[in-house]
Structure 1
Amino acid sequence: MSFTSMEVAIFGASACAAVCAQYAFIRCGLHGSFTSASWPEATLPDVQELTRVSNLVLSVYERDVTEPRFSDPVPPACVVKSVSYDDTRGQCPPYTIFLDLDARDICVAIRGLHLTHEADYAVLLNNRTGQQRLEDGFAHKGLLQAAWWLLEREADTLKELLQSNPGFSLTTSGHSLGSGIAALLTLLLASSLDRVGDLPPGKLHCLAFAPPRVVSLNLAVKYSDFITSVVLQLAVSPGVLMYEGHACPILGALSESWTPVHTREGPSYSLH
C-alpha cells in the first residue's frame, strides 16, 4: 500500500492535532491550573532579576539592539559579543554575551528554537533515550553538544571578563531550545569552574525560560541550586519530554506550515 504526499501530510497534521488536543485537555481541563497552587510567591528581587535577564534574552532576537522591536533598549556598550547563525554554522543557536555593570553580572543569553531554521532542528533531533551519558546520568545529546561547543568557543572570553571584573556573577539564560542549552552549559561550568577562572560560590546561575527537559532526574536534582526554570502553566516545551523525543513529531509538523507572527506582550511569570 502506498500513499500520496498529500495523504501523508494530512495524516501528519491529524496526528499532530490529536496530540496537541490531548495535551491541551490534560493541562487546561484537568490539572494545569493547579500546578503552581502550592508554590511560594516570588519576591520582588526575584521578579526584578527575571525581568532584567528576560529582556537580555529578548534582545538576542533583535537585528539592532539600538532599535529594538521586542525588548526594551539595551545599551550597546553592554554587548560584548553577538553571534549569529552564520557564525555558529549549525552548532548552536545564536547567542549574545552581555556585561551588565549595574547588576555586576556577565550574562550569556541564547535564543530559542527558530521554527523555520533547519540547523535548530538538527540540534533538537540529535538524540535517543539513553544515548548520551553525562556524569552519573543522561542528557540530550544534541543540546549537550551545542553547550560543549559554546563553552569551547567562549571559555576564554568569559575567563577574561571575570578576571577584569572581579566579584561579578555569571548568568546563563535562554528561551525554549536556548534555555536547554543554557542549563546544560551551567552543568558543564559547575563541574569545571576552572575553565572560566576563579568564580566564587553562588556566583553561577541559570535562568531557563520555558526549558525542555534535557537531563535525567538525578542530574536535575543534583544541579537544582544552579538552575531556576521559569514557565507559564500552559507552556508546551516544558510539558513535553524532549528527552524521550515526544516533542519532535509535533515540532516537525509545525515546521511544515509555520508562519512567523511577532508580537510584544507584557511578561507573566511563575517561579519554581
Structure 2
Amino acid sequence: MLYFIIKKQNSVQSSEFDQMKSLEDLLKEVKTRIGVTRTSWQIKLDRASLTIVGHLEYMFAIAGQAAKTFQDETGESVDFVLEKSLEKIKNIMFTKEMQEALDTISSSIEKLKQFDLEAKQYGSPLFLLFAILKRVQADIMREQAENLADENETTFLPNQIFSMKRIGNYALNVYDASWALTKHGIAKTMLIEEEDILYTWFKDESQEAHCPKFILFKDDELESIILSIRGTFSIKDVVTDVVCVDQPFLDGHAHKGLVKGALQIITLVQESLKSAVQNHPGFKVVLTGHSLGAGTAELIYLELTLGASSNILPPGTKVECLALAPPPVYRSSTELPDKVQDSIKIIIFNNDLVPRLSLGNIANLLVKLRSLDDLNIPIISLISILINKISKEEEEHLQGIRDTLEKAQQTQFPHLQHPGRILHFKRIKQQIRPRSEDSSIFSTTILLLEGSENLLTTIDFTIHGKDNH
C-alpha cells in the first residue's frame, strides 16, 4: 500500500461555542454602530436557546431593516457596516486555508469576466455560495463512496513502489534545488551526486521570456536519464496560469502557456538529452514534475514521442512520464495509443484542487455559482443548510440546489483532459486506497472539499512500502 503524507499548517476551526460567542460580540457591535436596539425591531432572542442561526437572523434583521432608514454615526453607510460584518462572519466560520482557496478561485472568476460570462454582481455573499457548493459536493461524495467498486483498486510490485517513490521525490526536491547557489547545493538537495548533473536551468527571467526551471541528471540505479521540471510555489499562480486559452498541439489542443514552456525546455535541453542517451545505452528517459511542472512534463513526453521533436532521441529509446498532481493539459481529436497512455502515470491525491483546474472547469464553476445565486434563497436559509439546522423548507431548498447544480454546465470552453493513466489515492473510511480512474472525473468538475487545499502548503511526497527491488 502506498500513502501520501501531507505536511499541513495546523488550522483548527473554532468550536461551535466559540463561533456563537464571536457572533454574539459581532452582533452587539453591529447593533451599536447603527444605533438601534433589539426591541426597536421587535426581535426576541432567547439566550437559553442561542444558536449560530439565531445570531445571524438577529444581525441580518437589524442590519437589513436599518439599511433602509439609518446612517452609521461615523458617516459610513449601513451597507458598508454590513459588508464588514460579513467579512467577520467569514473569519469566524472558515479556516485560513479555506479562505485562501476561495479567494484564489474568486480571482479566477474575476479573470473570466474578460470572456463575458455574466459579469454581474452576486445577490448572496460569494463565500456562502462556495460553502453551499462544498456542502452539496460533500454529500454527493459520501453517497458515491458507499457504492465504490473494488475492481478499480490498484496494487504495486516492490520495484514499482521503489521507482515511484524515488522519482516522486525528484519532482518535489527540484523546488528547493532551484534556489541552491552552487552545483554542490543542487546535488545535495536533489539527493544525487554532482557528477550526475547533466544540465540545469534555474535562471530568473522576465515574464515574457520565462522558461520553467528544470534539471537534467542521470540515475544509475534506475538506469534513467531524468528531466525534473519545477512547478509554481503559489496556488494563486497555478490558478492564474491555468485560466488560459488552449492552442493547437499535435492532433488536438493543449494549454497554451504550458505548450510554450514545454517547447522552450526541449530547445534548451535537446543536445544534452541526446548526448546522455547516446552515452548510456539501455537507459530510459523519465520526465517528471509536480503541479504545472507535471503538466509541462506530460506535454514534453507527447512532443518527444508523437511530435516534430521525436527525432531528437535515438530510435527505440524508452520514454516515461510520472506526473504528480498535474492540471488537465491536452485534448486529442483521436484516442491516444495505449502505449502512450500507459507510459504517462498521473498521481492524484484525494480531492486535490490542481488536477481539476482548467479554464473550462473554472467557467463551469462560475455557471454553477450563478445558477445557485439565481435561486434567490434567503441568506438565513443558506446558513441553516451549512450548519445542518434544516427545516422542511430548507430541505426543499437543498433539493432544489442539488437539482440546479447538476443541470448547470458551461458549453463555451471545451474541457482539457489528462493524457495518461491516473492513479487516484483516495481517502475512503480513514484509509487511502490507490485506484485507477478515468480522466473525466477530474477534467469536468472542481471540488471544494477537504483535501483540495493541500497544495496551499508544503507537500511531502512519501510512499511507504518495502523498498525491495
TM-score over 0.5 for the alignment?
yes
1:58 and 2:193 aligned: no
The structure with more helix, counted as a fraction of residues: 2
1:225 and 2:342 aligned: yes
Q: Which residue in 2 is equivalent to 1:255?
A: none
Q: How far 1:102 sits from its partner (Å)? A: 2.2
Distance 1:164 1:232, change over 3 A: same
Distance 1:35 1:16, change over 3 A: farther
**Partner SS, residue 231 of structure 1:** strand
Q: How far 1:198 sits from its partner (Å)? A: 0.4
Q: How far 1:94 sits from its partner (Å)? A: 1.9
Deviations 1:193-232 (A, max 9, x none): 544230425x101011112111125567333032111122
d(CA) in 2 for partners of 1:152, 1:48: 31
Which fold has the larger relative contact order, with Cα–Cα distance below 8 Å and residues 6 or more apart in sequence?
Answer: 2
Q: How far 1:189 sits from its partner (Å)? A: 0.3
For normalisation by structure 1, the TM-score amounts to 0.74
1:196 and 2:315 aligned: no
d(CA) in 1 for partners of 2:247, 2:149: 30
Q: Which residue in 1 is equivalent to 2:216?
A: 97
1:110 and 2:225 aligned: no
Please say if residues 193 and 199 of structure 1, whose CA atoms lie closer than 8 Å, have aligned partners that are also in contact. no
Q: How far 1:124 sits from its partner (Å)? A: 2.9
Letter in 2 for 1:166: P
Q: Which residue in 1 is equivalent to 2:155?
A: 41
d(CA) in 2 for partners of 1:170, 1:117: 31
Q: Which residue in 2 is equivalent to 1:150?
A: 265
Please say if residues 242 and 357 of structure 2, whose CA atoms lie closer than 8 Å, have aligned partners that are also in contact. no
Q: Which residue in 1 is equivalent to 2:282?
A: 167
Letter in 2 for 1:154: V
Q: How far 1:149 sits from its partner (Å)? A: 1.3
Please say if residues 82 and 96 of structure 1, whose CA atoms lie closer than 8 Å, have aligned partners that are also in contact. yes
Equivalent residues in 2 for 1:124-139 (5 A)? 124-127=242-245, 131-139=246-254
Distance 1:22 1:216, change over 3 A: farther
d(CA) in 1 for partners of 2:331, 2:218: 32
Q: Which residue in 1 is equivalent to 2:401?
A: none
Of 359, 362, 379, 1:246 maps to: 362
d(CA) in 1 for partners of 2:335, 2:128: 34
1:213 and 2:328 aligned: yes
d(CA) in 2 for partners of 1:103, 1:85: 28
d(CA) in 2 for partners of 1:60, 1:27: 34
1:80 and 2:195 aligned: no
Backbone CA RMSD of aligned residues: 4.0
Letter in 2 for 1:178: G
The percentage of aligned residue pairs carrying the same residue is 22
Letter in 2 for 1:267: I
Q: Comparing 45-54 with 180-189, which one deviates more in the overlay? A: 45-54
Q: Comparing 53-62 with 179-188, which one deviates more in the overlay? A: 53-62
Structure with larger Rg:
2
State how many pairs are aligned: 254
Distance 1:230 1:268, change over 3 A: farther
Distance 1:72 1:140, change over 3 A: closer
Letter in 2 for 1:53: I
**Partner SS, residue 198 of structure 1:** coil
**Partner SS, residue 143 of structure 1:** helix
